Amino acid sequence: MRPDELSAVDAVALIRAGRLSATRLVEACLERIAQREPQVRAWVAIDAEGALSRARALDAKGGRDGLLHGIPVGVKDVIETADLATAYGSPIYEGHRPRADAACVALLRAEGGIVLGKTVTAEFATTTPGATRNPWNPAFTPGGSSSGSAAAVADCMVPLACGTQTAGSVLRPAAFCGIAGFKPTFGWLSRQGVKQVSESLDTLGSFGRTVGDAALMAAAMARRPGLALADPDAPASITVVRTDAAAEASPEAWTALDRVAALLSAAGVAVGASELPEPCSALPRIHPAIEHYETARALAHEHAHHAQRLSPKLRDRLDHGIAMPHEEHARAQAVARACREAVARWFDGHRLLLTPSAPGEAPEGHATTGSAAFNRRWSLLGLPCLTLPVMHGPNGLPVGVQLVARWHDEAALLAAAAFVERQVGWRA
């Protein structure tokens, strides 16, 4: 196996055992990028010289401190880096150099991670796609807005990458690209130094080719080493939640869900079915109201001074959001609070949930990043979620499922996801 094909967990183990150098791993990733980047277009910038210099320094140090000692990572281009430009996916900020790393980047470096470069994002992490293509088939979208991060990990250009999610920007691209994507509880990771879109919804997340890799990345960004283990552990029970977006799902999405439910049942897990309590049917409707109102205020400067350099789609969203009465946003937030209170009570009987991570395979074309119909409610509730690949669909593209846990139950979610991953036995 080539070094760039290793999981991050395996690469860390080999580096610590002295059987792989950080320098060789970075070199292998750069070789893969040189081979595949013209087709996949996952990167805004590559810092080859800086990454190799950092790798050599770590190899010379000889120590094995930190969760990520010698592991290259990709950083979504809405997350600030002091040594690389951060343009937020917009021509407005071309060449912009922040004065400091975002908190998550600083923690990744402190844990021995090597920033290989900045990955493509949709414009300001919203819905206007970047240039990235799906590595399984470039005619299809990789999802978004964390498109470059998901595609780079899926294509073995880098073992790990970070992204952000406001609606479905971690879970959906991970599902479309056939990797693990993890979004923890809202507020669990510091957003300092991340370009804000929605103060009520924005959440950092991680990408890896395995559940263990995604856990390792998140543990490093949070400086919580205990979470990096993600040892497989069968949940006592799981609840299938099809949601009121069920009509949007393709047959392959239900096939994947049923396959996982059957595997869990065969393994002795009690599998039930339920739907979210009222008033949660309002969640898909109020999510856009909250997001658009807050995005218009977060991007008020860009809207006021650079409107013509925004995409028409984003400009229309900001026009709508800035005109929205405060009372409408307040009503939506009140409904969201009522939903969280209802779900908190409902969770007394439903510890872990199984639901689609996307409507199916990635859609063909590049005009959109796909539907977030199966992500918005969980983002608005602020719950931790993880997607992992299960099977290939009719176009040969990955199809995944999503696991959801109660607030701050990341450890149980990751352990259950690792168990599901073992049962599924996914092979790319």
Residue where the block lists tokens 């099809």: 242
Same domain for 191 and 318, yes or no, is no
Asked if pLDDT for residue 255 goes beyond 80, the answer is: yes
Q: Are 113 and 71 in contact (CB under 8 A)?
A: yes
In this structure, are residues 175 and 182 in contact, taking their beta carbons and an 8 Å threshold? no
Identity of the residue numbered 233: D
CATH of the domain at 269: 3.90.1300.10
Domain co-membership, 224 together with 329? no
Tokens of 106: 């600083």
Q: Are residues 332 and 197 in the same domain?
A: no
Is 265 a known active-site residue? no
What's the confidence (pLDDT) of residue 162?
98
User: Over 80: is that where the pLDDT of 65 sits?
Assistant: no
Do residue 127 and residue 262 come from a single domain?
A: yes
pLDDT in tens, 94-133: 999 999 999 999 999 999 999 999 999 999 999 999 999 9
Question: 290 and 150 share a domain?
Answer: no
102 and 210 housed in the same domain: yes
3-state DSSP assignment of residue 45 = strand
pLDDT in tens, 198-241: 999 999 999 999 999 999 999 999 999 999 888 999 999 999 99
For residue 383, the tally of other CB atoms under 10 A from its CB is 23
Q: Give me the number of domains the chain comprises.
A: 2
Rg for the chain, CA atoms, rounded: 20
Could you confirm whether 274 is annotated as catalytic? Answer: no
Rounded (10°) angle between helices 103-110 and 211-222:
110
User: Sorting pLDDT into bands at 50, 70 and 90, what band is 62?
Assistant: confident
Q: Output the pLDDT for position 77.
A: 98
Residues 248, 172 share a domain: yes
Q: Kindly state the average pLDDT of the residues 252-262.
A: 98
Task: For residues 297 and 384, state if they share a domain.
Answer: no
Pick from 308, 336, 364: which residue ends a domain? Answer: 336
What is the span of the domain harbouring residue 344? 1-277+338-428
Tokens of 131: 């240039």
Confidence of residue 269 (pLDDT cuts 50, 70, 90): very high
Catalytic residue among 90, 146, 149, 169: 169
Q: Check 145, 146, 198, 311 and give the catalytic one.
A: 145
Give yes or no: 147 in active site. no
* 184/320 same-domain check: no
pLDDT given for residue 213 in this prediction? 98
Residue 196 and residue 250 in one domain: yes
Nearest Cα to Cα of residue 211 among 169, 174, 157: 174
pLDDT value at residue 257: 98
Are the CB atoms for 253 and 366 separated by under 8 Å?
no
Q: 178 and 256 share a domain?
A: yes
Structure tokens at 283: 């969640």
Which pairs from 134-139 meet CB under 8 Å and 24+ separation?
134/176, 134/177, 134/362, 134/397, 135/36, 135/39, 135/40, 135/42, 135/177, 136/177, 136/178, 136/362, 136/396, 136/397, 136/398, 137/395, 137/396, 137/397, 138/39, 138/40, 139/364, 139/365
- Marked catalytic residue, from 7, 76, 206, 379: 76
Q: Which of 319, 336, 353 is where one domain is finished?
A: 336
The C-alpha atoms of residue 166 and residue 126 are separated, in whole angstroms, by 8
Query: Per residue in 123-164, pLDDT tens?
Result: 999 999 999 999 999 999 999 999 999 999 999 999 999 999
| End-of-domain residue from the set 313, 336, 359 | 336
Q: Which DSSP string do the residues of 87-105 spell out, in sequence order?
A: -TTSGGGTT---SS--HHH
- From residue 170, alpha-carbon distances to 22, 143, 152, 257, 388 in Å are 27, 9, 13, 19, 12
pLDDT score, position 130: 97
**Same-domain status, 125 and 248:** yes
- Closest among 415, 263, 260, 399 to 351, alpha carbons compared: 415
The pTM of the full predicted model, rounded to 2 decimals, is: 0.98
